[in-house]
């Protein structure tokens, strides 16, 4: 998932970026209002974390402008302004969530996950596709009864595919949502990670869940695709 972190307090940015990236998020940074506006309108982020007191352009002004321009991105306000009026005002201007500083990193992460679930119209934090189970809160992945360990980036890719299961996901989409602005764009990095995933998920199972649509991209097998391929024997849950 790709986030935009709009925050001008450098030590906080540094710590937060590290924390988020270690959770598998791709994090873009904006240190002032203008930069934030530029990046938010140019990229389709999954979530924007927005501070309110920003140089050059105020956070609430940005929020109002984005919402009136029709931007659908989920926005969580992260600010030191903790009064009730500020919260009400922020939410009323179109923010999806509001978190005051100082905050617990876990809470921020949970709220981010909730926003992402909402973005994909699902309420259950556990994604189940065939015999694959992805617990988005604990980030545990199981295939059948077998627990699978994944790196943050592998997990992020799998989660992204799982949220779009049954649909084709292009390489560009994957690139856009899993890599931040600083990552080097190499043509086969997505393919490399798909291969890693296949090794961990499909290897040893009869039914391959990660399918390749030549010329288009990849997809995680949807429920409709069951009869097309033979069912794996032990479909335990």
Assigned token pair, 35: 């930069």
- 16 sits near other proteins (criterion: CB under 8 A): yes
What is the per-residue binding string for other proteins in 106-125, x denoting contact by CB under 8 A? x-------------------
Stretch that binds other proteins, among 12-20, 136-144, 179-187, 219-227 (CB under 8 A): 12-20
Residue nearer to other proteins on the CB measure, 55 or 204: 55
Question: What count of other Cβ atoms lies within 10 Å of the Cβ of residue 236?
Answer: 8
Phi, psi of 67 (to 5 degrees): -65, -40
- 217 sits near other proteins (criterion: CB under 8 A): no
- 135 sits near other proteins (criterion: CB under 8 A): no
Q: Which of 1, 3, 31, 201 binds other proteins (CB under 8 A)?
A: 31
Residue nearer to other proteins on the CB measure, 7 or 131: 7
Q: Annotate 142-204 with DSSP letters as a single string.
A: EETTEEE---HHHHHHHHHHHHTTTS-EEHHHHHHHH--TTS---TTHHHHHHHHHHHHHTTT
- 126 sits near other proteins (criterion: CB under 8 A): no
- 176 sits near other proteins (criterion: CB under 8 A): no
Q: Where in 43-72 is the site for other proteins (CB under 8 A)?
A: 53-56, 58
| Exposure b/e, 35-71, CB count within 10 A at least 16 = b | bbbebbeebebbbbbbbbebeebebbebbeebeeeeb
Assigned token pair, 78: 């992260």
Q: Site residues (CB under 8 A) for other proteins? A: 8-12, 14-16, 18-19, 22, 31-33, 53-56, 58, 80-83, 100-106
């Amino acid at each position: 998932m790709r986030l935009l972190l709009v925050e001008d307090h450098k030590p906080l940015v540094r710590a937060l970026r590290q924390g988020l990236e270690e959770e598998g998020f791709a994090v873009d940074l904006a240190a002032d209002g203008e930069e934030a506006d530029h990046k938010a309108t140019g990229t389709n982020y999954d979530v924007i974390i927005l501070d309110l007191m920003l140089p050059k352009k105020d956070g609430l002004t940005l929020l109002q402008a984005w919402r009136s321009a029709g931007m659908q991105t989920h926005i969580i306000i992260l600010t030191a302004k903790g009064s009730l009026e500020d919260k009400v005002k922020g939410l009323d201007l179109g923010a999806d969530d509001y978190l005051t500083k100082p905050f617990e990193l876990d809470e921020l992460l949970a709220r981010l996950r909730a926003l992402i679930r909402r973005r994909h119209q699902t309420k259950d934090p556990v994604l189940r596709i065939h015999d694959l189970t992805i617990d988005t809160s604990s980030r545990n992945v199981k295939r059948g009864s077998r627990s699978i360990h994944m790196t943050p980036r592998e997990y992020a890719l799998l989660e992204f595919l799982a949220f779009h299961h049954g649909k084709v996901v292009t390489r560009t989409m994957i690139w856009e949502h899993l890599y931040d602005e600083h990552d080097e764009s190499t043509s086969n990095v997505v393919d490399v990670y798909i291969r890693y995933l296949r090794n961990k998920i499909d290897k040893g199972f009869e039914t391959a869940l990660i399918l390749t649509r030549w010329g288009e991209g990849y997809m995680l097998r949807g429920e409709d695709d069951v009869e097309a391929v033979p069912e794996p024997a032990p479909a335990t849950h």
